[in-house]
Structure 1
Amino acid sequence: MFGFLKGRGCPWRAGRPGRVAEVGWAITEAKAAMIWDDPEPFRRDLPKAASAKSVQGCPAAVDFDARHIVVRCPVDLNLRIRLEEGKAPVLENADGARSTVRTRHINQMVSVVSPSEWRHPKRPILQIVTPYIFLADEVVYLNQVPPYLDHQPEPPPGVLISGRFPVHIWPRPLMWAFEWHDTSRNLVLRRGQPWFYVRFETPDPARATRLVEAEITPPVQRYIDEISGVTNYVNRTYALFERARRRRPERLLVPRADRPAARRAA
C-alpha cells in the first residue's frame, strides 16, 4: 500500500522508525481561534473496576479506545432545512434570535453542497471547513470517523461522511461533512460535544502515535496552500500524491516550543 513512497527523494524516511510515530496538529484560522478546542485522546469516565475481568481491563478494548483522538464541536447550532422541488435547499437557524451564533456567521460557517453532488437526491449534505491541520514526517494516514464511542441520547438525523488520507504528503484542513437523512428533524450540535474522531495508521499497526502541537512554518504554509482547493479543479486528488511528494518540504512537523510536551494518543 505504501510502495509509492519508496525510492529517492524521501528525506523524511531516513533511519529506522521509533516505537512512537509523532503526528502534528495545528489550528490555522487566527480569527476566533479560541472557539476551537485542542484535539485530545479519547478517555472514558468510569468508576473503579469491580472485577479483575471487567471490560475496563480488557487489553483489546483499551487499545482500541486509546487510538482515537476527539475533536469537539466549537459552537451551538440548531438547524433545519427546507427542500422544495425545483428550488435550492434553504438552511435555517431554528433558534432565531435565541441563537448564540449570529445567523450571518452561521451562513459563513455552514454551507449546503450543490444537490448535483449529493449521494442521494433526498439527503442534503452540509459542510463546515475546520481549521484543523494534521501532518507528519513519516508515513501516517488519518481516518476521520463519527464519534461512535460516545453515547448520544438523541442520535443525529444523518451520518458523518468519513474520510482517509495521508497527512505526511497531503496536509489539508479537515472538513466536517454531514449527510442529512431525516430532514424532518433538526440538526442540533452542542459546543463541547464530541464532533468527530481521528485515528492514525502507520505501516506497522502495532506502533503508537503521539500528538504534538505544530508550528506552521512559511514553507509548510505554502505547501498547504498548493494543496488547498485542488478538488475544485480535479476529481481524483489521489493521482496528485506523487507530485505532492516531490514538492513536499523536507520537514513538515515543527513542534511549537511554547506549548506543553507531546501527548500520547495510542
Structure 2
Amino acid sequence: MQLSVNFENTRGTDHGSGPVQVGWFLNTQKGGVIYDPPTRVRSADINRKHAKSASRCPAVINLESRYFAVKCPFDIHIGFTRDKDGKPVLRNLAGEASPIRASKLGQKLHITNEVEWRYPDVPTIQLELPYVFIADEPVYMSQVAPFMHYAKDPLPGTIFGGRFPINVWPRPLMWAFEWHDTTKPIKVSRGDPLFYATFETLPQDRSVVMSEAEVTPELTDYMELISGAVNYVNQTFSLFEAAEARRPEALLKPIKRKSGG
C-alpha cells in the first residue's frame, strides 16, 4: 500500500475502489461524553415534494454529502478586554449563569500570544478539542466555516481553518477564530456547528464513510511520535515524509457498536 502525502506521487498506482473510510476518535476520554460524533451535513426542513426542489438537486446532495459538522461541546459567551497592564483577556459574559466553570473554560479556550496574531488588533482565540481524524490511504482534510448553517447572530470574525493529510498527520483539532470586531461578543451554543470537515480523496468522486476509530496501541504510539512537533519546528509540513516512513501500514480500526434492541 502506498500512502503518500502528495496526491501527485500516487499517479500511476492502484487506488482503492468504493467509499473512502475515514475514522474519528477523541484523544482523551475525560469528559468525552460532551463531544458529539461528527455528523454529515444535511439540509434542515427540506422540501422534497417538488421535482425541482433544490433539496432534490444531485449537485446539492453531492456537495452536502462531503461535509461533516463538528459541534460545539458547551455554551460559549465571551467578551474581549484588556487588563490594567494592557494584556488581552477574555471575559465570561455568562457569569454565574454559565454552565461551565470559569476555571475549566480557561483551560479549553484562550487567546494566543499577541505577537502571533496575523493582523494588528485582531485577536486569535483557540478552543482546544479532542477530535482526531485518521485514514489509511491518501486523504487531505480541510477545516472550514459552517457556511451552510444560518446564524441569527453572526460571529464577529472569521474561522482560521487549515488543510493537511490525515493519513500521515492525525492530530487533535482546535477551533481557531480571528476576532475582527472585539466590541461584539462571541456567542456559540452547545450543539451549534463550530466548523465543517471536508475530505479530498483519490479519485475525487469517491464518497466518504465516517466511523469511530478504535484507539489501538499502534495508533497511540504513532500519535506520540508526531505530537508536539509544532513546538520545535516552524514548518511541520516538512516532517510529513519522515512521519510517513515510520507509519504502520494500517492504523484505522473502526469500532463496531452494538445495535440497539
Give me the TM-score of the superposition, normalised by structure 1.
Answer: 0.90
1:6 Cα deviation (Å)?
7.7
Distance 2:79 2:191 in 1: 21
Q: How does 1:1-266 map to 2 (within 5 A)?
A: 1-4=6-9, 16-83=15-82, 87-258=86-257
**SS of equivalent residue, structure 2 residue 62:** helix
- For the structure 1 residues 133 and 259, does the alpha-carbon distance in structure 2 shift closer, same or farther, using more than 3 Å as the test? farther
1:241 Cα deviation (Å)?
0.6
Which ranges of structure 1 fall in alignment gaps of 5 or more residues? 8-12, 261-266
Which of 248-257 and 41-50 deviates more? 41-50
- For the structure 1 residues 259 and 3, does the alpha-carbon distance in structure 2 shift closer, same or farther, using more than 3 Å as the test? farther
Which of 132-141 and 223-232 deviates more? 223-232
1:259 Cα deviation (Å)?
5.4
Which of 250-259 and 58-67 deviates more? 250-259
**SS of equivalent residue, structure 2 residue 61:** helix
Amino acid at match of 1:202: T
Q: Does the 8 Å contact 2:18/2:206 carry over to 1? A: yes
**SS of equivalent residue, structure 2 residue 175:** strand
Amino acid at match of 1:17: G
Distance 1:202 1:16 in 2: 10
Which ranges of structure 2 fall in alignment gaps of 5 or more residues? 1-5
1:228 Cα deviation (Å)?
1.6
Q: Does the 8 Å contact 1:213/1:259 carry over to 2? A: no
Q: Does the 8 Å contact 2:35/2:73 carry over to 1? A: yes
**SS of equivalent residue, structure 2 residue 55:** helix
1:84 Cα deviation (Å)?
6.6
Amino acid at match of 1:201: E
- For the structure 1 residues 82 and 204, does the alpha-carbon distance in structure 2 shift closer, same or farther, using more than 3 Å as the test? same
Aligned residue pairs, count: 254
Aligned to 1:10: none
Distance 1:5 1:230 in 2: 26
Distance 2:53 2:211 in 1: 32
Deviations 1:192-214 (A, max 9, x none): 11111100001211110100110
Q: Does the 8 Å contact 2:25/2:131 carry over to 1? A: yes
Which of 43-52 and 166-175 deviates more? 43-52
**SS of equivalent residue, structure 1 residue 198:** strand
Q: Does the 8 Å contact 2:124/2:178 carry over to 1? A: yes
- For the structure 1 residues 259 and 232, does the alpha-carbon distance in structure 2 shift closer, same or farther, using more than 3 Å as the test? farther
1:46 Cα deviation (Å)?
2.6
**SS of equivalent residue, structure 2 residue 171:** coil
Give the root-mean-square deviation of aligned CA atoms: 1.9
Q: Does the 8 Å contact 1:140/1:167 carry over to 2? A: yes
